[in-house]
Amino acid sequence: MAIRINLDVVMARRKKGLTELAGEIDLTLANLSILKNNKAKAVRFSTLDALCRALDCQPGDILEYVSEEESDYER
């Protein structure tokens, strides 16, 4: 997939743990872990909004487009 989720990077910069963030945005730990580990197939705008609010960031800090060639190369 050409979209990379950099949630782990943003969380580390903000010094927020998975459990703390999940509680703040009212998302299950399992679903947040799927996002954090770049395994999600989709993200709701309401979830992205809650993440940006809790982490004081922009959607572009969390989501990144990478070309298919770059994405294939990293596998």
Domain boundaries 3-73, corresponding CATH code = 1.10.260.40
Confidence (pLDDT) at 8: 95
Confidence (pLDDT) at 74: 55
Alpha-carbon Rg for the chain in angstroms: 12
CB 22, CB 32: distance < 8 Å: yes
Domain ranges of the chain: 3-73
CB 47, CB 27: distance < 8 Å: yes
Q: What is the mean pLDDT of residues 11-20?
A: 96
Confidence (pLDDT) at 71: 56
pLDDT digits (tens, 9 = 90+) for 20-75: 999 999 999 999 999 999 999 999 999 999 999 999 999 999 999 998 766 555 54
- Per the model's pLDDT, the better-predicted residue between 13 and 71 turns out to be 13
Return the biggest CA–CA distance within the chain. 37
